[in-house]
Amino acid sequence: MRIIDTATDFVENYESTLDYLNRFYKKHEEEYAFYFERHCRNVVEKKHKALLLHPEKLDEILPMRDIFFEEIDSITKAYEAMLPVRFTQDVHLFVGLYGSNAFTYRQYNPEVGFCLEKLSGERTHIQVIVAHEFGHAAHHIYNDTFGTDWEKVDWMSPLTWLLQEGIATYLSKQVVQADFDEYFAYEKDQEWMDFAVGNESLIAERFLDDLQSGEDIFKEWFSINGGAHFGFTRLAYYLGYKVVEKLAEKYSIEELLTLWVKETFKEEMLDELRGLL
């Protein structure tokens, strides 16, 4: 596993100009290709906004880089000790344009990317986002290692997304100590947490309704651009965690990781969602 760090180059040569941003992203064009393809839309507009935001974040980025190096090593070792997985793919430390904050690549053995400009510099918050993204990676690597038939995974189902986010959060709690809200927000957000816990039944009911209606589930429930129903984004992450927490009472962690290929997968997910009502 290599950690590819373009954040250092960004900070050490930074100029607060549009020309600098254009030259930097051209220089690292291959490295940032997936980021701009999948995780940063409206690039021209975002570059202008980033010019206002990057300078105030600049002093944090190199200390954050150092923490990422330390925590990636520590957390991947913790996962490898807990599960029969081995992380071999590249990890990318970006400075982006305030699009996504972190992501795994669309691969069975995925690369992982972290966008430092969009993340908190506190060590605990970095630990949680590293644990979450490598939780996703561990989920995929485990299935790939043990010969899962990937054709059986319904990648377009919101129930699959719910399982993925629930497992990543559930695994994070096994390897990192943090406050409950930090596992979902990757920073302090007690207001979000209080709403999710206090309105669990209402949230589950609306999610189930949207599954039936054909609503844009991903944007409303999984994206930072959603939240129209309740004024809080990404509430599916909480639902996913609660569903996985209940499933973990019935299944081993290894069985949970491969649940998405069971014939009864979707009905079991729906049953647990109904159980939250």
User: What is the average pLDDT across 235-251?
Assistant: 97
User: What is the average pLDDT across 122-129?
Assistant: 98
Tokens of 127: 């630990």
- CATH 3.40.390 intervals, the chain: 1-147
pLDDT band at residue 215 using 50, 70 and 90 as cut-offs:
confident
Q: What is the pTM of this model?
A: 0.95
| Residue that the structure tokens 């944007």 belong to | 219
Residue 274: predicted pLDDT: 97
- pLDDT (tens digit, 9 = 90+) per residue, 190-211? 999 999 999 999 999 999 999 9
Residue 94: predicted pLDDT: 98
Residue 83: predicted pLDDT: 96
Percent of the chain with pLDDT over 70: 100
Q: Which fold has domain 1-147?
A: Collagenase (Catalytic Domain) (3.40.390)
As a whole number, the mean pLDDT across the chain is 96
pLDDT band at residue 224 using 50, 70 and 90 as cut-offs:
confident
Q: What are phi and psi of 115, to 5 degrees?
A: -105, 100
pLDDT band at residue 216 using 50, 70 and 90 as cut-offs:
confident
- pLDDT (tens digit, 9 = 90+) per residue, 69-117? 999 999 999 999 999 999 999 999 999 999 999 999 988 999 999 999 9
